[in-house]
Amino acid sequence: MSFVYPEFLYAFLVLLIPIIIHLFQFKRFKVLYFSSNQFLKAVTNESKSTQKLKHIVILALRLLAFSALVLAFAQPFFPSKQGKEAGMAPIMAFYLDNTFSMSAQSPSGSLLQKGKQAIQQIIDNAPPDAQFLMVTNDLKGKEQRLVKKSELLDYLDIVDYTSSSKNLSSVLSTIKNNLNDWNHQGQRYYFLLSDFQETNSSFEQGDVDTNANMILHQLAPQNNNNLYIDSIWFETPLRKINLPNTLSVRVVNTSNSPRQNVELTLSLADRNRSQLINIPSSGAETATFTFNNRTEGLKKGYVEIDDDQLYFDDRYYFSYKVKNAVSVTIINGTNAKNFPRKVYETDDFYKVTELPENQIQLDLLKRSNVIVLNELTEIPSGILTTLNEFTASGGSLIIIPSDDISVGGYNTFLAKHQLPLFGNLKKESIALKNVAMEASFFAGVFESTERRLNLPKAAAYFPAGIASNSNHISLVSFDNDLPYFAKKRGDENIFIFYSGVNESFGSASRHALFSTLLLRSAEFSMGNKPLALTLGQSKAYPVENQSGSETIITLTNEDNSISLIPPSYKRGGFHYISMENEDLLTSLPAGNYFINIEDKTEDIISVNYPRKESILRYNSLGEMTANFKNFGVLNVNSFSIAELSDIDQITFEKAPNYWRILLILALFFFLLETLLLKIWKV
């Protein structure tokens, strides 16, 4: 015999109470009156023996009643046949999908809530000797051990939504590995309660426990409609006081019906703006907000869509910095022309510092927003590390070659960044032909992309050697389609000219296009930090640290209700906050956060939840069942839970419920005791 709740057996100590009462009852004396003393001895002897017998009977009934009550709460049972055959109790492993898609509504509440109720009902029907394992997408430490029914129900109450979306492959392998580590050879039941979204329902053969009973419960929403904000961006990279900014917002509609007059709201600093937009069925719409920044400094806000299905993706946080100046450092070669300085000095917004190549100051380079290598014969090896860190943190690096460069030295740097390499100088006239007006680099520069430009000619150039792994955008090309001006593709702002500015290269550098390219490249340093990051997906976020010492970085929200130390690492003059860390997915809600270094606010960062769960496409139960059977699982059952009564389809071999019999016995003993007390008048 075993017990479902063996801890209740300690309640047998309650039996001491009637025993103590019984002992004190024997010490009580009664006064008896007799007409003749000759019968006193006989009456006394008869009274003592009768009273003693009555007390023992009453005590026995009380002990039996309390014993039956204690055993009823401990719920005794004999292990099921399966447990006896395997030598172990059956294990019921539950996977409850708690990703954001489970917040979709069913007729009787959210899918997550319905899943919790289903698990409770399954547990109520479970064999009394069953052990339980509970797994969610959090895969916490407490989900790696067997628990009893009461502990499982307590944990079920606190399960909440998470932005950590695990593939079914990870869940199945975690459960399987745990059971194998525990060397459990008994019956195994896997209960998978999920909506089975296409994005995270795949698994491999090695993940599947073929000896288990696989029971699939699909929790389906009322409808698959959802609106979500997919992304945002500024039309131009420059953030400047009183300069108009156009913010674009892309909203996606997953339903098969168009949505009309949907409210989209921008909340930024001291302003709130709303507009109504129409979104086509199974499509997207891009809306724009135009505004000016009245002051410099850190700015934070969000855009929000009004939707009635899934709320985690209705708000998109963003932040940026408005500067009052851009620091430009120009490193000049021995015979360099001062064309770059003249271009930047046309606008007071750019603060220009010039350095000869033999007097480079590394600290000044680290504090710059733009670095121009102007006609250097070679890139000094002493600044390569600084340049790599500079571009990785978002600064703009502009390379203008001289006519006597060390091709090998330059190409070492270019190859590292997968940019087209310099060929040997060609002294021949060649026209500039193509401008990639559709590229984001030129957004807002030209009034019309169809206008034909009058482009200059170059008298000499370095033909670019484009390798198969080249990672660049050719923004301006020569007549032979080789690049005149190129940018590294991606987040790093590395710009390179393949023709120079001195007389031997001709007059191309006197053309207005040259000035436009220089100014536009510098503007990109203003947008060196992303407007927003995606938890678990974005790259590390750089935070400048000029102190040179180890510092503590903390993230805090506006009301200081959230404050944490994010995972980070130090490289050069920057700390990098790792946004791919798994812990951030469960500990950092979407929002705007101040970055504090030694209790001083240095920057601001915006994080959003992944949109992976926003597209409501599901695998059918038939597909899921077929996949499991293809991988060798013989016993697969599947149910679509429309109502909780569907759970009753699941049957287990259950031991008899003796606790009901014990409760009846306890009641019987109490009633019999009460009856005897009245009859005997004890």
Q: What is the spatial distance between Cα 593 and Cα 176, in angstroms, rounded to a whole number?
A: 39
* 164 is a domain residue: yes
Instruction: Give Dmax over CA atoms of the chain in angstroms.
Output: 151
The CATH number covering residue 315 comes to 2.60.40.10
Whether 548 shows a pLDDT value over 70: the answer reads no
Confidence of residue 84 (pLDDT cuts 50, 70, 90): very low
Residue 13, pLDDT > 90, answer no
Quick one: three-class SS letters along 418-450?
CCCEECCCECCCEEEEEECCCCHHHCCCCCCCC
- For residues 524-551, give the mean pLDDT: 77
Domain assignment present for 348:
yes
AA letter at 564: L
Task: Give the lowest-confidence range in 450-454, 599-603, 613-617, 649-653.
Answer: 649-653
Tokens 């891009």 belong to: 286
Q: Is 498 helix (H, G, I), strand (E, B) or coil?
A: coil
**Is residue 274 situated within a structural domain?**
yes
State both tokens at 634: 């013989």
Whether the Cβ atoms of residue 164 and residue 200 lie closer than 8 Å to each other: no
Residue 315 near residue 302, CB atoms below 8 Å: yes
Taking alpha carbons only, the member of 487, 480, 494, 395 closest to residue 432 is 480
Instruction: Enumerate the β-bridge partners of residue 555.
Output: 564, 595
d(CA 254, CA 232): 18
How far is 330 from 521, CA to CA, in rounded Å? 14
Which of 71-80, 85-94, 672-681 has the highest average model confidence (pLDDT)?
672-681
- Dig out the tokens for 452 from the structure: 């034909």
Question: Residues 225, 231, 237, CA angle at the centre, nearest 5°?
Answer: 165
pLDDT digits (tens, 9 = 90+) for 595-629: 998 778 888 999 999 998 998 899 999 999 999 99
Residue 656 has what pLDDT?
A: 55
Residue type, 405: I
105-106 and 109-110 strand pairing:
antiparallel
Residues 6+ apart with CB under 8 A from 414: 420, 421, 422, 496
85 and 14 share a domain? no
Residue whose token pair is 């003592």:
48
- Enumerate helices (H) and strands (E) in the chain, giving the number of each: 14, 35
User: What is the dihedral angle through the alpha carbons of 59, 65, 67, 70, rounded to the nearest 10 degrees?
Assistant: -140
Among 8-22, 58-72, 471-485, name the one with the lowest average pLDDT: 8-22
Q: Mean pLDDT across the stretch 417-433?
A: 92
- What is the reported pLDDT for 14? 76
As a whole number of angstroms, the distance between CA 579 and CA 510 comes to 44
Please tell me the distance from the alpha carbon of residue 353 to that of residue 332, in angstroms, as a whole number.
11
pLDDT band at 64 (very low <50, low <70, confident <90, very high): confident
Would 40 be classed as within a structural domain? yes
At residue 636, does pLDDT exceed 60?
A: yes
Cα separations in angstroms, 184 against 33, 88, 89, 92, 213: 74, 7, 9, 12, 14
pLDDT at residue 3, as a whole number? 66
Does the pLDDT of residue 38 top 60, yes or no? no
Asked if the structure places residue 135 within a domain, the reply is yes
Distance of alpha carbon 484 from alpha carbon 478, whole angstroms: 6
- pLDDT, tens digit (0-9, with 9 covering 90-100), for 213-259: 899 999 988 888 899 999 999 988 888 888 888 999 999 999 989 99
Tokens of 330: 């120009």
Contact assessment for residue 419 and residue 470, using Cβ atoms and an 8 Å cutoff: yes
- On whether both 507 and 537 belong to a single domain, the answer is no
Q: Are 88 and 65 found together in one domain? A: no
- Point out which residues pair with 591 in neighbouring strands: 607
* Tens-place pLDDT, residues 498-530: 999 988 998 888 888 999 999 999 988 876 678
How far is it, in rounded angstroms, from Cα 268 to Cα 232? 14
Q: Could you tell me if 558 and 592 are in contact, meaning their C-beta atoms sit under 8 angstroms apart?
A: yes
Instruction: Give 304's pLDDT tier (boundaries 50, 70, 90).
Output: very high
Residues 472 and 333 in one domain: yes
Instruction: Give the pLDDT score at 654.
Output: 52
**The domain that contains 152 carries what CATH number?**
3.40.50
> What is the C-alpha separation between 42 and 53, in angstroms, rounded?
17
Compute the distance between CA of residue 546 and CA of residue 557 in angstroms, rounded to an integer.
24
What is the span of the domain harbouring residue 290? 227-322
Give the three-state DSSP class for 523.
Answer: helix
In sequence order, what are the beta bridge partners of 346? Answer: none
Reply yes or no on whether the pLDDT at 424 is more than 60. Answer: yes
Asked which of 322, 351, 382 is the last residue of a domain, the reply is 322
Measured distance CA(259)–CA(620) in Å, rounded: 27
In-domain check, residue 435: yes
Where residue 364 sits, what CATH number does that domain have?
Answer: 3.40.50.880
Q: Is the pLDDT of residue 129 over 80?
A: no
Q: Which of 97-106, 383-392, 664-673 has the weakest average pLDDT?
A: 664-673
Residues 231 and 280 in one domain: yes
pLDDT at 400: 95
Domain count, the chain: 5
* Residue 338 near residue 293 (C-beta atoms within 8 A): no
Task: State whether 371 and 518 are in the same domain.
Answer: yes
Residue 147 falls inside a structural domain = yes
What is the predicted pLDDT for the residue at 614? 92
Pairing of strands 553-556, 541-544: unpaired
At 616 the three-state DSSP class reads: coil
Q: Tell me what the pLDDT averaged over the chain comes to.
A: 84
Claim to verify: residue 484 and residue 364 sit in the same structural domain? yes
**% of the chain at pLDDT higher than 70:** 88
Kindly state whether residues 571 and 634 are assigned to the same domain: no
Quote the CA–CA distance of 423 and 416 in Å, as a whole number: 16
Per DSSP, the three-state class of 375 is strand
Would you state the pLDDT for residue 85?
A: 46
Residue 101 has pLDDT above 70, yes or no: yes
pLDDT single digits (tens) 147-159 = 888 889 999 999 9
The model carries a pTM of 0.75
Dihedral of the alpha carbons of 523, 529, 532, 534, in degrees to the nearest 10: 130
* Amino acid, res. 407: V
Q: Within its chain, how far is the Cα of 140 from the centroid?
A: 14
Q: What angle do CA 200, 207, 647 make, to 5 degrees?
A: 65
User: On the CB side of 25, how many CA atoms lie within 13 Å of its CA?
Assistant: 16
Instruction: Give residue for tokens 């000044």.
Output: 364
From 322, 337, 371, the end of a domain falls on 322
End-to-end CA distance of the chain: 38
> Is 47's pLDDT higher than 70?
no
- CATH number assigned to the domain comprising residue 570: 2.60.40
Residue 557 has φ and ψ, to the nearest 5°, of -90, 180
Q: Which of 294, 322, 350 is the last residue of a domain?
A: 322
Assess whether 151 and 297 both reside in one domain. no
Q: Is residue 471 part of a domain?
A: yes
pLDDT at 193 over 90: yes
Q: If DSSP codes are grouped into helix, strand and coil, which group holds residue 182?
A: coil
Give the span between the Cα atoms of 380 and 374, in whole angstroms.
13
Tokens of 56: 């023992």
DSSP string spanning 209-227?
Answer: -TTSEEEEEE---S----E
Residues 267 and 355 in one domain: no
| 204: Cα within 13 Å, side-chain hemisphere | 4
Rg (alpha carbons) of the chain, rounded to whole number: 39
Same domain for 514 and 422, yes or no, is yes
CB 252 within 8 A of CB 282: no
194-218 pLDDT tens trace: 999 998 898 888 889 988 889 999 9
Contact at 8 Å (CB) between 311 and 103?
yes
Whether residues 368 and 357 share a domain: the answer is yes
